[in-house]
Amino acid sequence: MSLEKVQSVVQIYIDSMKEASAEKVKEAFHPNGSVVGHLHGDFLEMSTDDFAGFVSSQEPSDIEFEILSTEICGTTASVKVRDKYLGITFLDTLSLVEIDNEWSIYSKLFHVEE
């Protein structure tokens, strides 16, 4: 059951980018979540609210994505996703946590693939 719930949260995350939806970002991410990585040579750190604002400022678009791995250990999970968003291929490492039977993304580390 946990695998399906984790995959559902990842799908909401992907859908948030497809639809440029701040609401879906906030549905997928924990309120204290973070998004961290390097983009165009700059180190970026965003809160859930910052990322929701960024996503909603984009045009809705198709997202190519592939779930590379999923590991669940009790109330934590790690999911690696390769996605093409805004013409850039990202390798995302998503860390999820289960609180009160609800899974959410607590951290997104991203790497831009060349």
**pLDDT, tens only, 46-101:** 999 999 999 999 999 999 999 999 999 999 999 999 999 999 999 999 999 999 99
Tokens of 102: 């609800």
Q: Are 48 and 29 in contact (CB under 8 A)?
A: yes
The total domain count for the chain is 1
| CATH at 38 | 3.10.450.50
In this prediction, residues 18-34 reach a mean pLDDT of: 98
Report the candidate in 85, 79, 92 with the shortest Cα–Cα distance to residue 7: 79
pTM of this prediction? 0.95
Q: Where are the beta strands (DSSP E) in 2-113?
A: 29-39, 42-47, 64-73, 76-85, 88-99, 102-112
Structural domain harbouring 46: 2-112
Q: Are 106 and 32 in contact (CB under 8 A)?
A: yes
